[in-house]
Structure 1
Amino acid sequence: MGEAKRRNEQKAAWPRSESYRGMIDLHVLPPVASIDGEYIRRLTGNNDLPTAPEVILRAFRAEVGGRVFQVGFCLGDGHAFSPVGIAVIERLAIEKPGCSLHVVPIVDEDIAWDIVLRHLRTFTGEALLFAYPNSDVYDAGTAEISYSADVRQFDYDGRPLRRLSAADRQKNRERKAEILGRPTPPRFLAAPGHAPEDAPWIFRIGTPAGKVIRTAVWNGRRSYAHEMPEGIERWVGGDRIAIVQVHSPVGVDRRSSLDLTHHLAKDFDGVIHWARDTETFQSILRSFIRLDLESVSPPELPQGWEPDITILAANEGRSGEPVDEAAQ
């Protein structure tokens, strides 16, 4: 069977409810009196800022494939945020008090919009926040909202906003190129009263043997010291799940996370890549995204589901296969 035909058959066999390719509607959240210019002045400590009665934030109600959730965009590293970012978080919390805030840090300018689009199409929670380390990555991950044919924007009265044209984009790029100086990087602050959670990264992978599984990527941050989220195994589902501790970025010693997933799929129904640190985490993400692997939501699981979970280390053994360090 040809490779193209095999891939088409795999896509046809996969439940279409697991992914979404239709229109994304973003409705601007209206300003609220409690988040005004004075609020931003207090956060920044900058009394020179105007005390406007209304502050327009990049915060929306998203309607995607029958799902409705809140989504925001701001500068931050995923744990601390710019003062405007704190305001975005507060605005989302007003819509959904007490709900979990899932945060997606985006550091790679080249794939920033791809990351945003994938999460918008697969997110199943209530509140989602995209955090960018600087204005360049922020622009790369937000500008497409106004240009993409996949997105419709509406103001807070429900009126559709005009999609910008290619000519508009060129003018904006020329205007940005004319700016010689750079603003001072914003200082990032912890969001009081909020415990951000990482939004899951889940991909669909078809193996050369014809098996189709989910694989997820998790950021260990500090040599696996960061505690994994409760229920992380539910991201991938299946009767047998492998959680693989990945020690180095993709490409080191010719290591490939895709090849590793193909190997483990022989014995497991789902694979979770537990990256040792953020560099390794971002490296795995970039490789999967550049391979154009499809992003999907977590599966629906039966009541009482209890999988077998095996924890592995992605060190090479004598056979070049993963070494089983521990099992549950």
Structure 2
Amino acid sequence: MNQKLFKYVLLAPAFMLIAATTFYPLMRSFWISLHEWDLKTSVGMGAFIGLDNYIRAFSDSQFWNSVRATLIFAASTVVLTLILSLIVALLLSKDKKYLSYLRAVLIIPFAMSPALIGYSWRFMLNPDYGLFDKIIGFLIPPLSDVVWLGTNSTAMIALISVVVWIWLPFMSLMFISGLMGMPSEVFEAAKMDGATPLKTLFHITLPMLKPIILIASILMTMFSLKAFDPVVTMTRGGPGDSTEVLNFFIYKTGFRYFDMGYSSALGYILALITIVFVIIYMRKLVKGDDWN
């Protein structure tokens, strides 16, 4: 084990597997993005065109529409998921026996297939025979005639709600683990000093949860930017192109229009957007910046 070469021999199979499944596809797709390749006209890669596919994206109105839809979808999903999961965590983090069973049940939505969830919610939101639509109509009569997946605004609201429902359990469990790991002496001292529950939340609980909140923000941003299953199963980018997020637009460009070069370039643009957000979050996590 003291030989320097031996450790690399042991790691070689793992490196080869990573190279075959990660590095090579990345390099290959980047090389494709620098070429013109329309599968409708040729099965082989076309001429080298450099950055023309990337330049084309910034003059494409459909691309900017997908960017707008992605930002609305991602921002709403991240904010709502973090706020609701924090509320759920505060309610379920108490040291009660019955709450441990609720915490176990909490993981069920996250354990289900996103594609199955999308199809299920599409069925339940159907205005003719959907269960959820009937429940909403019974509880809130003015919403009884709403076609949830039939208009631009309601389709986006329904899509965001379902994605929040999918990721809420996972994020709640992250916050619950952080809350249950906090020292009780700090809260007892704050209570003795006369701190109200609201002051304790904002001046003790949230600052101590800051690393977990930032990590949860990174994960939710990544999950939201690359969301695909709920979109393709619920709205398919519609009505019109109101819910056509960037990931779905990449899929449509590559596997409906068969423009492989352009879709590869769009994929790298999405990857770059994701990396920018992750870097911003990581800088705050590493430096421990204040909330402001």
TM-score, structure 1 normalization: 0.22
Q: Give the greater-gyration-radius structure (CA).
A: 2
Query: Which structure has the highest helix share of the two?
Result: 2
TM-score of the two chains, using structure 2 as the length reference:
0.24
